[in-house]
Amino acid sequence: MNNGVDNIERMVDILSSLPTIGKKTARRLTYYILKQDLEYANNFSATLIDLVEKVHLCEVCYNFTETKVCKICESEKRDKTKICVVEDPSDVSYIDNTNEFSGLYHVLHGVINPLNNINAQDLKIRELINRLQGVDEVILALNPNVESDITAQYLANIIKPLDIKVTKLASGIPLGTSIEFSDNATISRALEGRVIIK
Ligand SMILES: [Zn+2]
């Protein structure tokens, strides 16, 4: 692995393992990096290591944070009677950027998907149930697809008997798209028009 060609191929392989990056783009990025100086590479690798070493999951909501408990969970200004449940940490920022929601979040880290062998116990569902005291509404802000619908119904069946209102986003987000690819106005409308899960 010591000759230059192998190192180039190793870098192409690593970069193309990232989502949405194909071999061609990975190669273009690799050649771009090769044109930079050593300081660029040092900064790049240090940032990568810091990211993975210092960022971990909030022990309350399971969003990414560099502190024990994240800023949203710690904030006095957030409405602690409402929890918005999302699939991925990135969804928290998409929803919070709309300024439409002032409650707390809970990240499931996926949805139930029997075909891929992902069951309820693989997600942060028990952790969600354990923090529902004093909560009067759980908003399921999951993506519009079959697996998310199964997960939403599963959660509603557990949470509703606890006398907590369970709502889901209005169907503003088109089927097959995700929160990630929706603009602020669409997410705001979906939140505002949320409906109770029967
Ligand atoms: Zn948190």
User: 76 and 13: one domain?
Assistant: no
**How far, in Å, is the centroid of ligand 1 from the Cα of 110?**
17
For residue 156, being part of any structural domain is answered with yes
User: 32 and 94: one domain?
Assistant: no
Q: For position 2, what pLDDT does the model report?
A: 57
**How far, in Å, is the centroid of ligand 1 from the Cα of 68?**
9
User: 86 and 48: one domain?
Assistant: no
For residue 59, being part of any structural domain is answered with no
Q: What is the pLDDT of residues 113-144, one digit of tens each?
A: 989 999 999 999 999 999 999 999 999 999 88
**How far, in Å, is the centroid of ligand 1 from the Cα of 69?**
5
**How far, in Å, is the centroid of ligand 1 from the Cα of 12?**
35
Are the C-beta atoms of residues 62 and 124 closer than 8 Å to each other?
yes
Q: For position 145, what pLDDT does the model report?
A: 85
CATH (domain of 43): 1.10.8.420
User: 95 and 164: one domain?
Assistant: yes
Q: Which of 107, 4, 9, 28 is nearest to 65 (CA)?
A: 107
Q: For position 173, what pLDDT does the model report?
A: 61
For residue 46, being part of any structural domain is answered with yes
User: 111 and 162: one domain?
Assistant: yes
Q: How does strand 103-107 pair with strand 79-86? A: parallel
**How far, in Å, is the centroid of ligand 1 from the Cα of 92?**
10
Using the structure block, give the residue that is written with the tokens 């070493």: 53
User: 129 and 164: one domain?
Assistant: yes
**How far, in Å, is the centroid of ligand 1 from the Cα of 25?**
35
Amino acid at 158: I
**How far, in Å, is the centroid of ligand 1 from the Cα of 73?**
4
Using the structure block, give the residue that is written with the tokens 């908003």: 139
Q: Where are the beta strands (DSSP E) in 70-197?
A: 79-86, 103-107, 137-140, 165-168, 195-196
| The two structure tokens encoding residue 161 | 């008997």
58 HSE (CA, 13 A, CB side):
21
Q: For position 185, what pLDDT does the model report?
A: 81
pTM: 0.81
For residue 93, being part of any structural domain is answered with yes
CA separation, residue 195 to residues 102, 112, 140, 170 (Å): 18, 21, 10, 6
User: 106 and 31: one domain?
Assistant: no
User: 176 and 110: one domain?
Assistant: yes
User: 43 and 68: one domain?
Assistant: no
**How far, in Å, is the centroid of ligand 1 from the Cα of 189?**
24
Q: For position 197, what pLDDT does the model report?
A: 84
| The two structure tokens encoding residue 19 | 């989502």
**How far, in Å, is the centroid of ligand 1 from the Cα of 87?**
14
Domain boundaries, position 92 = 64-196
Q: For position 3, what pLDDT does the model report?
A: 59
pLDDT in tens, the chain (198 residues): 555 569 999 999 999 999 999 999 999 999 999 999 999 999 999 999 999 999 999 999 999 999 999 999 999 999 999 999 999 999 999 999 988 899 999 999 999 998 999 999 999 999 999 999 999 999 999 988 889 999 999 999 999 999 999 999 877 566 556 777 677 888 888 888 888 887
Amino acid at 82: K
User: 16 and 91: one domain?
Assistant: no
Picking from 54, 75, 93, the residue at the C-terminal end of a domain is 54
Counted domains in the chain: 2
